[in-house]
Each structure stands twice: as structure tokens, then as C-alpha cells.
Structure 1
Amino acid sequence: MNGQGRLAQQSKEWLMAALFDLLAEQPYETVTVKQIAEKAQLSRRTFYRAFRDKDDLLDYYDREVGRRYLAALQEIAPQRMVFKDVLTYFFEFWWQERKQLRLLIKQGLFGRMLARITPMASEIYRVFPAPWHIEGSPTETDYIMSFATGGFWNVLNRWLVKEHPESPTEMAALLMAGLKRLGETED
């Protein structure tokens, strides 16, 4: 990336940080592009070079965090992981984003983020074939992965909205214990 590209990327990061600072102070609906640019100490022209509007900036965050999650998953060795490791890894990644996610949850924007990221889940499962994924027809796999993805996001939503959320390790242990009990209740 050349100098101009790095500067453009840095401007996007500053604008995103400014948006989240403003979300901590006021409702998303009242945040303006002018406020975002001023908070980032950039011109509105710089904002509009990078984004159409504040929704586009929020979409950028969603895409970037989804991309970073996918990239992080690709760096681990799935054949050596058990499901508890996956849970711990999931919670540890999103723990790093807890400040932003908590703001999105409180502002009612978390569902919007999920709508953007959830389609990426299919890509994650294609790129990251892991031993805990089921083997079955494409339809069966699609539904099970959708079920799991929805469960993960709902847990994430409930966890991070708490004033004092459990640690990622505690969350993985809680889920493992609960899932184990569910598996023991067979007809």
C-alpha cells in the first residue's frame, strides 16, 4: 500500500473511531456526518471521499470486523482444536470488540451488524473446514450452520450487554456445560 493508500485507510479508522465515540454520547439517529468528521478532526470532504453516509461508515465497520474474524480463523489449525477451543476462540475474538459491540447492542444496531456478517458465515465454513462441522447434505449442513451461527450471535448479544460480563474462558466453560447437559437429555 502506498502512502496515499495508508493515509486513506488511517482516515477511515479515525472516522470509525469518531462514530463510536459519538455513539457513546448520543443516539445513532442524531449523529451527523459533520459531527463524525469534526470528532475525527477531518473534513467532511474527506468523509465523503471514503463513505456515502454514516450508514456506509457503519457498514464498513461490520465488513472489517467480519473480515478480521475470518482472517483470524484462517490462522488457526482446525485439526488440533476441539469444540471448547472453538468456543474460547470465538469469545476471545469478540471480547476484543466488546466496547463497540456493547454500543451497537445498546443502540439497537447489533441486528444490523449480524445481517451483514451472517452471510460471511457460509464463507467461514467453506474456508475453515473444521472437525466439529457435521458431515451431511449441503442442505443439512447449511441449516445446522445457520442454527449454530444464530446461537452464537444470540449468546454474544446477551453476554456483552451485561455490565460485568464473564471472561471468554468462563463463557466457553458455561456453554460447554450447558451443551453437554442438553446432549444428555435423549428421548
Structure 2
Amino acid sequence: MIYSTDNPIAIQSQKWLVAALLDLMKEKPYDKISIKEIAEKADLDRSTFYRNFKSKENVLNLYLNELAEKYVNNLVEAGEIDMRKVSKIFLELMYEHIDFISALRKNGLSGFLLDAFNKYLPYIHKLTQDKFPHTISEEHLEFALAFNAGGMWNMLMKWIDEDFVHSYTDIVKAFYEISNFNFVKK
């Protein structure tokens, strides 16, 4: 549960708590971070934490939902889109936040990232549905969305697991090649 509000003071407290957790994740494993430490790092008390969040996971989810919303906004701002642009925008955003994404992976929390982005798949589909040469039946749509999201997520995780042996440009090129490979020849 995340306390949703228009109160600027509560919104600022949430931002400070998110920033505190992200900073602490650079210093130590996620499971060793206490609510008390997060609140202290944010210069707030524990009661402020609990007024805004139920758990550390809620703090992570707020940040991950913000990343997913930023991804959707970047897609909207891109105008004309295709699968290459969808993947490029995704990879650019992940690259901007690669230290955080790597920390999630190192702490066994990368599934949180996939869950956050999966919530936005139907909206992303609405943005892109008429941009591709093939259409997917409604019956198979959820599977197709999961397939694409899982592929992008797995590429990202493989890149992290291999300690970024490949450059960002190589990853984008690989996705382009895979996208072309998956098109049916006529």
C-alpha cells in the first residue's frame, strides 16, 4: 500500500524516502536495510514512513511505477513508433537507471521491475497496435504482450549478469536483429 495524496509535504516525504532507500541499496543488501534506516537517511521519523508506506517493497514499487510511467510517456512523446523504437526507448530508460536495475538484480528483486512494466502492457499495446504489419487476435494478445516484455526483460537481465560485456549500442543492435528475425517472410 502506498498512500496516495495531493499533499505536497507527503509527496516530498515519499520522494525523500525513495531516495533514501535507493542510496542505502548502494551501500548494503536490500534485505539488510531496515525501515528505521530508511527513515533516518531521509531525515524523517518512522511514523512518517508508515504514514506513506506499508513496507520497503511499497517504496520500491512507487519508484518502479514511476519508471514505467516515464517509459509510457517517452513512447507517447516519440510519436510514430514501431517495435524497434519501443525497445530503444525501453533500453535507453533502463540504461539511464542501470545502477538501480543492477542493484535490483543483485538483490534478487528484478522481478519487481518486470511486474511494474507488465501493468502497463495493455496501455503500451494501445499505443502500438496499429503500427505493426501483423495483428494479434484478442484471444492471444496477453500472451503476445508477455512474450515481448519477457524478451526485453531477459535481454536486460542477461546484459547485467554478464557485467555489461556488450555496449549499450550492441544491445540495441541485437534487439533490432532479433526483431527482424521474428518477422515472417512473405
- The TM-score bracket by the shorter chain reads 0.7 to 0.9
Mark the runs of 5 or more structure 2 residues left unpaired by the alignment. 1-5
- Quick one: distance in 2 between partners of 1:178 and 1:65? 25
Paired residue for 2:48? Answer: 46
Preserved contact between residue 101 and residue 110 of structure 1 (Cα < 8 Å): yes
How far off its partner does 1:181 sit? 5.0
Letter in 1 for 2:79: A
Paired residue for 2:149? Answer: 149
Q: Output the aligned Cα RMSD.
A: 2.4
- Quick one: distance in 2 between partners of 1:45 and 1:87? 41
Preserved contact between residue 88 and residue 168 of structure 1 (Cα < 8 Å): no
Secondary structure at the counterpart of residue 42 of structure 1: coil
Preserved contact between residue 83 and residue 179 of structure 2 (Cα < 8 Å): no
TM-score (norm 1): 0.82
Q: Which runs of 4+ in 1 moved over 6 A?
A: none
Segment drifting more, 11-20 vs 159-168: 159-168
Preserved contact between residue 135 and residue 141 of structure 1 (Cα < 8 Å): no
Preserved contact between residue 74 and residue 127 of structure 1 (Cα < 8 Å): yes
Mark the runs of 5 or more structure 1 residues left unpaired by the alignment. none
Segment drifting more, 149-158 vs 86-95: 86-95
TM-score (norm 2): 0.83
When residues 43 and 174 of structure 1 are mapped into structure 2, their CA distance, relative to the original with a 3 A threshold, is same
- Quick one: distance in 2 between partners of 1:31 and 1:84? 38
Secondary structure at the counterpart of residue 7 of structure 2: helix
Percent identity (aligned): 29
When residues 90 and 110 of structure 1 are mapped into structure 2, their CA distance, relative to the original with a 3 A threshold, is same
- Quick one: distance in 2 between partners of 1:176 and 1:63? 26
When residues 178 and 138 of structure 1 are mapped into structure 2, their CA distance, relative to the original with a 3 A threshold, is closer
Preserved contact between residue 84 and residue 173 of structure 1 (Cα < 8 Å): no
